[in-house]
């Protein structure tokens, strides 16, 4: 079985802005590439921070059934969403993965990271001595051993709604928390399923894609906010001051 070349895959992604998108038009090629990328590859750890969970829900709701099934069947995908029944098992599992696959696993974070009070606004478990482990500290520890870090959704990429002032929990985007590390931002509320699938497949099969100044994959985000109508509003700095 042959792989899609990086050039061919990039062309599919660049054409995804057309009607239907890669999730509908190129289902066989994308499913095959996703399945091939998952075969024997290191694990993907998917953590949820301060978010509504809409990014992952939207992804599974909107992609073609064949793509959804391909995602679900990835045995190396450890989807760990809050809240969990046993937080200590949660922490132990991801730390074991990080230890066994140091420098090889992929970390996906959905939602902003609470940094206030040294991260104590989001506790994900306890260490052997019974001390709390925050999502903030867990993300920092895991990211140091990850091959790539993906921030899924606007909250993870830039803080989003949880980071709106007065922001008592000190929520921040992943790239701000992990300053100096390479983070791939996939913003959107929620991000289009093509952007998520396309970026994930690219990272698994071909490595980190080219990123723009906001750390977004240029395959999907280049020129996205350069349309005439939204650009006009940005240029004139028009802002809504209320919901009315």
Return the pLDDT at 68. 66
DSSP state of 210: P
Per-residue pLDDT band for 72 (boundaries 50, 70, 90) equals: low
Residue 186 CB neighbour total at 10 angstroms: 27
Across the range 225-229, mean pLDDT stands at 53
Weakest-pLDDT range from 97-101, 129-133, 147-151, 221-225: 221-225
DSSP state of 116: G
Weakest-pLDDT range from 37-41, 52-56, 189-193, 206-210: 37-41
Across the range 217-231, mean pLDDT stands at 68
Return the pLDDT at 57. 84
Residue 12 CB neighbour total at 10 angstroms: 20
Return the pLDDT at 192. 87
Give whole-number Cα distances, 132 to 71, 92, 97, 136, 142, in Å: 32, 13, 20, 11, 16
- Provide φ and ψ at 219, rounded to 5°: -55, -30
Q: Compute the distance between CA of residue 189 and CA of residue 54 in angstroms, rounded to an integer.
A: 8
For the stretch 7-46, pLDDT in tens is: 655 555 555 544 445 545 456 666 776 666 666 667 888 8
Say if residue 236's pLDDT is above 60: no
Cα 177–Cα 180–Cα 182 angle in degrees, nearest 5: 90
For the stretch 134-193, pLDDT in tens is: 999 999 999 999 999 999 999 999 999 999 999 999 999 999 999 989 999 999 999 988
Cα 9–Cα 14–Cα 17 angle in degrees, nearest 5: 130
Cα 23–Cα 29–Cα 30 angle in degrees, nearest 5: 45
Q: Compute the distance between CA of residue 158 and CA of residue 167 in angstroms, rounded to an integer.
A: 13
The per-residue DSSP string of 45-74 comes to EEEE-BS-SHHHHHHHHHS-HHHHHHHHT-
Return the pLDDT at 197. 82
pTM (2 d.p.) = 0.80
For the stretch 77-88, pLDDT in tens is: 666 555 555 566
Say if residue 2's pLDDT is above 80: no
Between 120 and 244, the more confident residue is 120
End-to-end CA distance of the chain: 56
Residues 6 or more apart whose Cβ sits within 8 Å of residue 128: none
What fold characterizes domain 6-235?
Answer: Rossmann fold (3.40.50)
DSSP state of 217: B
Determine contact, residues 121/79, Cβ cutoff 8 Å: no
Give whole-number Cα distances, 190 to 6, 59, 62, 195, in Å: 26, 8, 11, 10
For the stretch 105-137, pLDDT in tens is: 889 999 999 999 999 999 988 888 889 999 999
Return the pLDDT at 124. 87
Between 202 and 72, the more confident residue is 202
Task: Enter the tokens of residue 12.
Answer: 């599919």
């Amino acid at each position: 079985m042959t792989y899609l070349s990086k050039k061919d895959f990039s062309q599919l992604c660049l054409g995804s802005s057309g009607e239907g998108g890669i999730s509908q038009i190129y289902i066989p090629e994308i499913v095959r590439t996703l399945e091939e990328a998952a075969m024997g590859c290191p694990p993907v750890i998917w953590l949820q921070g301060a978010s509504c969970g809409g990014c992952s829900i939207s992804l599974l709701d909107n992609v073609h059934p064949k793509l959804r099934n391909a995602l679900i069947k990835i045995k190396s995908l450890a989807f760990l969403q809050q809240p969990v029944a046993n937080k200590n098992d949660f922490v132990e599992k991801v730390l074991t993965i990080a230890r066994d696959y140091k420098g090889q696993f992929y970390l996906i974070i959905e939602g902003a990271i609470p940094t206030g009070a040294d991260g104590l606004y989001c506790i994900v478990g306890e260490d052997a001595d019974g001390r709390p482990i925050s999502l903030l500290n867990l993300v920092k520890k895991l990211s140091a051993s990850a091959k790539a870090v993906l921030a899924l959704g606007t909250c993870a990429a830039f803080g989003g709604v949880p980071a709106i002032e007065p922001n008592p929990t000190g929520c921040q985007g992943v790239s701000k928390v992990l300053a100096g590390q390479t983070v791939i931002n996939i913003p959107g509320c929620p991000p289009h399923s093509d952007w998520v699938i396309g970026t994930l497949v690219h990272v698994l099969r071909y490595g980190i894609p080219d990123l723009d100044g906001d750390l977004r994959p240029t395959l999907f985000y280049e020129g996205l906010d350069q349309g005439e109508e939204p650009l006009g509003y940005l240029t004139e700095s028009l802002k809504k001051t209320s919901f009315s």
